[in-house]
Structure 1
């Protein structure tokens, strides 16, 4: 069965961990059987993570292209590991997956509205996203 999981959640909510666990559980971590598509991947350089908001549109396009290639190659399990705060952000992934015959599951990781969880996410996210930004993202989240 060909499956796509579209993860949604705040920075620090555990999306990347969840993605890794899915790969382990569903395909025993066999790297030929899955691909995790995260726009964050494009911000990594040899010396670490360097976020640049001006690169976001380009990197989101690259991530979508990587996703489409994986589905075209019929990778059995493909996971979109982005925040996907607004529905329009993941709609292209959803449409391509359906068009290519993949079963799609949207998964909200973590608790979006809980203020204490937002504090926790701001402390543990790996990209130093501030609490103020996380709270704004939670407010804008589309269900």
Structure 2
């Protein structure tokens, strides 16, 4: 059975850890059996994460393209590791997976509306996203 997981959650909520744990659990971490697609990967230059909001639309498109490529190759487990705050941000991922015969599961990682958790996420996210931004994302989160 081919599976696609669409992860959703605030920065620092544990999406990347969840994605790797999921791959470890479902395919024993066999790298030939899974692919994790994260737009964040495109912001890594010479081993350092350098966010540029002007590049975000381009990098989201590149991430979607490599996701579709992974699906087309028939990789058994494909995971999207993005915040996906609004539904329009991930609908193309769902439609592509369905079109290519994948079972799709949407997973919300962490507690979106919990203010204490938002503080924790602001402290532990690796991209230095400020609490104010995380709180705004939580407010805009579409269920």
TM-score range, shorter chain: over 0.9
Cα deviation for residue 47 of structure 1 reads 4.3
What are the within-5 Å matches in structure 2 for residues 28-67 of structure 1?
Answer: 28-67=28-67
> Aligned residue for 2:27?
27
Q: How does 1:84-123 map to 2 (within 5 A)?
A: 84-123=84-123
2: CA distance, partners of 1:75 / 1:125: 29
**Uncovered stretches (5+) of structure 2, i.e. residues with no partner:** none
**Normalising by the residue count of structure 1, what TM-score does the alignment of the two structures yield?**
0.99
Distance in 2 (CA, whole Å) between partners of 1:53 and 1:21 is: 29
Structure 1 match to 2:129: 129
Cα drift, residue 88 of structure 1: 0.2
Counterpart CA distance in 2 for 1:53 and 1:41 is 14
TM-score, normalized by length of structure 2? 0.99
Q: Which runs of 5+ in 1 are unaligned?
A: none
Q: CA RMSD in A?
A: 0.4
Matches of 1:78 and 1:45, distance apart in 2: 24
> Displaced runs of 4+ in structure 1, greater than 4 A?
none
Counterpart CA distance in 1 for 2:83 and 2:30 is 25
